[in-house]
Amino acid sequence: MPDSPSPTLVPDELLRYARHLTLGEIGMAGQQKLKASRVLLVGAGGLGSPAALYLAAAGVGTLGVVDSDVVDLSNLQRQVLHDTAAIGQAKTISASRRIAALNPNVHVESFAERLTSQNARRIVRAFDIVVDGSDNFPTRYLVNDSCVFEKKPLVYGSILRFEGQLSIFGAPGGPCYRCLFSEPPPADLVPSCADAGVLGVLPGVIGTLQALEAIKWIVGIGESTVGRLVVFDALRMRFRDIAVRRDPGCAVCGDHPVITELIDYEAFCGVADLGTSVADAEIRTAELVRSLAEADPPFLLDVREPWEFAIAHLANSQLIPLNTLPARLAEIPRHRALVTVCHSGGRSLAARDLLLRAGFPRVRSLAGGVDAWAKDVDPAMRRY
């Protein structure tokens, strides 16, 4: 943490933080460090929700919140920063309202925008420590590289199904995210939480631990997770540590870095521009609208689960869940162009590959799935 004048705690704060002040490891000096600190939250979703609440309750002076999304009903199973009344509202607005209600002494700086290679370093530079609550690989690599370049510690967390991970990257002499994961997995190999699901309590556990690590770092107490990847198995209620060392050959933080400025992270992670290199694999919503209006429209094959189909689906689409698709190929017309559909595009790409291997000649996947269709074409469609 940079040295700066310790702010004075007003009487209300002395009472609010009384339980901290009685802890010798924190005390007045530690609480003043918290009040002087500036913490950036990347994402106000599952991980960012508990992190924001506990950092605000602990007395962090300034919380930055970066999120371009709006609150959706399906968020509320795990994103406890928001409530039913906030559905349809920008997450940054909902987060600011909730944080102010919890602790009006905390100043919130909202960034209702996507973190990109154009704005990331500018935003990260203004804070002391970054808590990453992102849910996709391009943003994780972007945040990591920005923190390395700006010399800011990064509290990393990730969740999927029943497992979570936690570490601190970018500390002086310690590893960065790329030291552990030098390259992203294939874009279609790791499902998103939307496709694979996530236990609602899990981000509460990992996000709270992220807040804990940030508080310890700011105050300067305890043993951090620098050099360790903590893996939590919720079903077995087990934590285990994996040692992570700085890689001298790391492309970003190594002895001779080859990446010295922010890059195109979607291309790096294989999430290509939908209008160029994946044109043969995916169809965008606007093009599908035009195709459906033609005399010979494509056959819409929805490969989600029945409960998802019941929430929302494209008109005239046929449901065949992905896990039953190999046994039901005879139900699919071979003479028509096919468009596979899922929630956000991952399963539909897998279905496309399966159908191509089975000899179907014209198959494309709906880019972004029904979620993109609801955003771009049918705002009345229920999202989840």
Catalytic residues: 193, 342
Contacts for 43 with CB less than 8 Å, ≥ 6 apart: 66, 67, 132, 133, 134, 135, 139
Compute the distance between CA of residue 117 and CA of residue 282 in angstroms, rounded to an integer: 25
Could you write out the three-class secondary structure of the chain?
CCCCCCCCCCHHHHHHCHHHHCCCCCHHHHHHHHHHCEEEEECCCCCHHHHHHHHHHHCCCEEEEECCCECCHHHHHCCCCCCHHHCCCEHHHHHHHHHHHHCCCCEEEEECCCCCCCCHHHHHHCCCEEEECCCCHHHHHHHHHHHHHHCCCEEEEEEEECEEEEEEECCCCCCCHHHHCCCCCCCCCCCCHHHHCECCCHHHHHHHHHHHHHHHHHHCCCCCCECEEEEEECCCCEEEEEECCCCCCCCCCCCCCCCCCCCCHHHHCCCCCCCCCCCCCEECHHHHHHHHCCCCCCEEEECCCHHHHHHCCCCCCEECCHHHHHHHHHHCCCCCCEEEECCCCHHHHHHHHHHHHCCCCCEEEECCHHHHHHHHCCCCCCCC
Could you write out the three-class secondary structure of 203-218?
HHHHHHHHHHHHHHHH
Whole-number CA gyration radius for the chain: 23
The residues facing 155 across adjacent strands are: 131, 168
